[in-house]
Amino acid sequence: MSGYVLAFDFGEVRIGVAGGSMELGIATPLATVTGAGNDEKFAAIGKLIQEWQPTQLVVGLPSHLDGTEHELSRLSRTFANRLNGRFGLPVALVDERLTSVEADSLLSEAQTFGKKRKAALDQVAAMRILQCWFDQPAS
């Protein structure tokens, strides 16, 4: 497989974005999308898609530790469907349990705190989501 992948850590306020090439299989944090409403957020995502030209999108699917879904799971699925509808790209959902915990731990190791940490947290969580997708065995 080849091409570029963009991954999203969906949140109602902020959306973390990471990217990586399928050839290398290494995820990198890219951006944090914010906006007053969905139109503003999707416009920012559209610019990222135009810039990076991905062939695949990945969205983290949150759930409780026992695997049951909650409200943010439904919102993440809706977000994934909207991405597919607006940009016509395939969208994969990836279990994102513990990615925020991992991201928080990585930022602590990197001594990133305060306002910088909040902005970076969503990007690093998106990076972990994408890395999980890369690391899955091809079906």
Instruction: List, run by run, the mean pLDDT of 10-residue segments along the chain (139 residues).
Output: 91 93 94 92 97 97 76 91 97 78 62 62 88 81
**Other beta carbons less than 10 A from residue 113's beta carbon:** 10
- pLDDT given for residue 96 in this prediction: 78
Helices (H), the chain: 38-52, 71-87, 99-109, 115-135
**What is the total count of domains within the chain?**
1
- pLDDT given for residue 62 in this prediction: 84
Q: How far is Cα 102 from Cα 131, in angstroms, rounded to an integer?
A: 12
Cβ contacts of residue 100 below 8 Å, gap of 6+? 9, 121, 125
- CATH number (domain holding residue 33): 3.30.420.140
- pLDDT given for residue 92 in this prediction: 96
Record the tokens describing residue 115, joined without a space. Answer: 């306002």
The whole-model pTM stands at 0.85
**Domain that includes residue 129, residue range:** 4-135
